[in-house]
Structure 1
Amino acid sequence: MTITIKGLTKSFDDTPVLRGIDLTVRDGELLALLGPSGSGKTTLLRIIAGLEWPDAGQLVVAGEDWLALSAQQRRIGFVFQHYALFPHMTVRDNIAFGLSVRPRAARPGNAEIAQTVDELLNLLQIEHLADRHPAQLSGGQRQRVALGRALAIRPSVLLLDEPFGALDAAIRRDLRRWLREVHEKTGSTTIFVTHDQEEAFELADRVVVMGDGEILQIGTADDLYDAPACPFVARFMGAVVELPVNISDGRATARGLDASALPVTSAPDGPGRLFLRPDSIALIPDPASPWQLSRKISTGADLRLTLLGPEGQEIPVDLPRRSAPPVEISQTYRLRPSVGALFSDDAAGAAATPIRLSA
């Protein structure tokens, strides 16, 4: 099912939550909505599910106007963070629930329901839990049952809202791999909400980064990491070195910065900011540079360095320990980045024009 969203807006008590969302989800795609709390991702998911209604905009699924349909008519599979299982029902009955409560004319026969449940128990690898109740299950097992209940109705679209947020890190990693396998077997168009970057990148075909009710960038993990579309995305991706620079003839210039490995851009002359990753910076000995090595720690695989620069600014630099050139505390070094993202400042001083820089 292809999902097309155009101009979607939503406010609560005059506070904008969604500010004109345009998004296309491809048939059979697993798409992640990634962003901090308050970015609007859960509200967007609930509108797709029919649990909230937009103030304006369009929501079309497989050519059909879903804003004209109730939640029940959309045949959505929804998995919540906290499972929402029926405690008095067994695992088997929980999975069968969506089928068994259909109107009589649309309800499958008992044999067909039992066959569907057996297939899902096998797919979810919980056959041995079929006759247990939710209280007898671990958190990870409960989340598998919740997904089974959502899949039982053969949903047109599967929606997951922070599905692993209540689980510990080790279980989340296992379930991410398992969910990706389930998605590939079922081929459902799937959207899931998360604030966990690792989760989004491991699971999704594409990631939608949201902030303050807007879509800021859509792409793969490599796209978002190497070419953030705006400073918000660069900072949200974490571990960023942010240098104030002057842009002259398409290059970033600053004391102690050697940008010769970066291509010339079309950025306008004037003040700007250069965003770098700690592992993309080489250090060149330079007694005239203001960047002084103040800390050096080995993790075994890497050297984690801290350099102190002009006006007390500290930046991290990561070098592979075995191949790194010798570096010494209190020595000064020129920064030579191999990849980064340059943003020119507008008149108000906010970074506005993204220029991708790559090796």
Structure 2
Amino acid sequence: MTMTIRNLTRRFGQTEVLRGIDLTVEKGELVALLGPSGSGKTTLLRIISGLDWPDAGQLTVAGGDWLAKKAEERRTGFVFQHYALFPHMKVRDNIAFGLTVLPRDRRPPPVQIRARVAELLQFLQIPHLADRYPSELSGGQRQRVALGRALAIDPEVLLLDEPFGALDAQVRRDLRRWLREVHDATGTTTIFVTHDQEEAFELADRVVVMGAGQIEQIGRPDEIYDHPASPFTARFLGLTVEIPVNLRAGRIEAPGLDGSALSRRAMADGPATLFLRPSDITPVPDPEGAFRITEAVSTGALLRLRLEGPADCIAEAELPRRAGVPGLIPGQRVRLRPEAGQIFPGGPGPVQAAAVPSLKTKESLQ
């Protein structure tokens, strides 16, 4: 079962919320739609579920036209951020609900429904909650019940809209690991919406980065982390330091910048912008350095530096406090050595991107 989306558009009045979305999701994949609020990711999820309809485009599953089907005909399981459990129903009845409202010719007999609910309660590790009401559950428990209700109908596609957004940080981390285990055990094709980069990268087989109603980049988590394809993606993924540079013979040049750790690129000479994460910058004390430390703040584990450079260039660097680099105090002049980054040729909003491979592994930056 392959889901194929072609040139999907959606407008609300004069606002184009989705602008020509093209996406293919393979059977058994877990795909994250990652982006800021207003990027169109929830609208896309609602169209897939049948809760909303596009103005143009195609949506096919296993070759069949899903836009010709009503929501109840699509066999999608939908899990909302705020659970949407029925407060007057016990846990076992919430899980059974989707089966009990199926058309008569597709509805399992009561004995099979009870068996399916018992199976899911055990699978989700909540059999002891079967006779409780939603008000008697924690947030994490409610989310497990919501997932059980979605899985009860054996959906072709499982859709999750910010499923952990209402939970505290530790519960989110625990449920992320648990959800990945559930997905691997069931093999259900899953698409989930999130604005949380860590959540998307930890859970997904592939990440779809969305911005302003369009897809900016699709790839495996490490690919997107190491090689963002546009300035939008770079900024969204934490490459918040932008330094104007010149490219000459594939090398970057800028006052106070030591680009020796970055590989040579096959790019045309000329102005460009170097995008960096604060953790990718090594400040090196240098009396002749073009950058000056204006602020140094310790968070306990990290030392965060604010630096000012030529042409009002502002940069931030972040390094382990216990690294013990001497001289990194306000007023100290330094040169900056980027360890990894991304170069976009030209001025703001360039179309093309060239990756700068890192000398560090991803793990060493976390």
Q: TM-score range by the shorter chain?
A: over 0.9
- Does 2:66 align with 1:66? yes
Deviations 1:68-112 (A, max 9, x none): 211111111011112111122111111111111222221111111
Q: Could you say which residue in structure 2 is the equivalent of 1:310? A: 310
Deviations 1:97-131 (A, max 9, x none): 11112222211111111111001101111111111
Q: Distance in 1 between matches of 2:179 and 2:15?
A: 35
SS of the equivalent of 2:245 reads: strand
Q: Cα offset for 1:269?
A: 2.5
Deviations 1:154-194 (A, max 9, x none): 00000011112222222222211111111111110000011
Q: Cα offset for 1:57?
A: 1.4
Q: Cα offset for 1:247?
A: 2.2
Q: Cα offset for 1:217?
A: 0.9
Q: Could you say which residue in structure 2 is the equivalent of 1:246? A: 246
Residues 167 and 307 of structure 1: is their aligned pair in 2 closer, same or farther, counting only changes over 3 Å?
A: same
The amino acid across from 1:246 in the alignment is N
The amino acid across from 2:349 in the alignment is A
Residue ranges of structure 2 left out of the alignment (5+ in a row): 359-366
Q: Could you say which residue in structure 2 is the equivalent of 1:77? A: 77
Greater shift, 321-330 or 100-109, is seen at 321-330
SS of the equivalent of 1:209 reads: strand
Q: Cα offset for 1:312?
A: 4.2
User: For the Cα contact (< 8 Å) 1:83–1:143, is it kept in 2?
Assistant: yes
Residues 328 and 199 of structure 1: is their aligned pair in 2 closer, same or farther, counting only changes over 3 Å?
A: closer
- Does 2:209 align with 1:237? no
Q: Could you say which residue in structure 2 is the equivalent of 1:355? A: 354
Q: Could you say which residue in structure 1 is the equivalent of 2:361? A: none
Q: How does 1:318-333 map to 2 (within 5 A)?
A: 318-323=318-323, 325-329=325-329, 330-333=331-334
- Does 2:335 align with 1:334? yes
The amino acid across from 2:246 in the alignment is N
Q: Cα offset for 1:238?
A: 2.0
Q: Distance in 1 between matches of 2:284 and 2:51?
A: 57
User: For the Cα contact (< 8 Å) 1:124–1:148, is it kept in 2?
Assistant: yes
Q: Could you say which residue in structure 2 is the equivalent of 1:93? A: 93
Q: Could you say which residue in structure 1 is the equivalent of 2:24? A: 24
User: For the Cα contact (< 8 Å) 2:242–2:273, is it kept in 1?
Assistant: yes
SS of the equivalent of 1:53 reads: coil
The amino acid across from 1:309 in the alignment is G
Q: Cα offset for 1:324?
A: 5.1
Q: Could you say which residue in structure 2 is the equivalent of 1:256? A: 256
SS of the equivalent of 1:282 reads: strand
User: For the Cα contact (< 8 Å) 1:31–1:205, is it kept in 2?
Assistant: yes
Q: Could you say which residue in structure 2 is the equivalent of 1:178? A: 178
SS of the equivalent of 2:353 reads: strand
SS of the equivalent of 1:106 reads: coil
SS of the equivalent of 1:274 reads: strand
Q: Could you say which residue in structure 2 is the equivalent of 1:202? A: 202
SS of the equivalent of 2:268 reads: coil
User: For the Cα contact (< 8 Å) 2:251–2:264, is it kept in 1?
Assistant: yes
Per the normalisation by structure 2, the TM-score is 0.92
Q: Cα RMSD (Å) of the superposition?
A: 1.7
Residues 61 and 324 of structure 1: is their aligned pair in 2 closer, same or farther, counting only changes over 3 Å?
A: farther
Q: Could you say which residue in structure 1 is the equivalent of 2:362? A: none
SS of the equivalent of 1:243 reads: strand
Deviations 1:25-82 (A, max 9, x none): 1211111101111100011101111111112211111221211211111111011112
Q: Cα offset for 1:297?
A: 3.8
Greater shift, 54-63 or 39-48, is seen at 54-63
Q: Tell me how many residue pairs correspond in the alignment.
A: 357
Residues 137 and 322 of structure 1: is their aligned pair in 2 closer, same or farther, counting only changes over 3 Å?
A: closer
Q: How does 1:119-268 map to 2 (within 5 A)?
A: 119-238=119-238, 240-268=240-268
Q: Cα offset for 1:341?
A: 0.4
Greater shift, 217-226 or 10-19, is seen at 217-226
SS of the equivalent of 1:104 reads: coil
- Does 2:55 align with 1:55? yes
Q: Which runs of 4+ in 1 moved over 6 A?
A: none
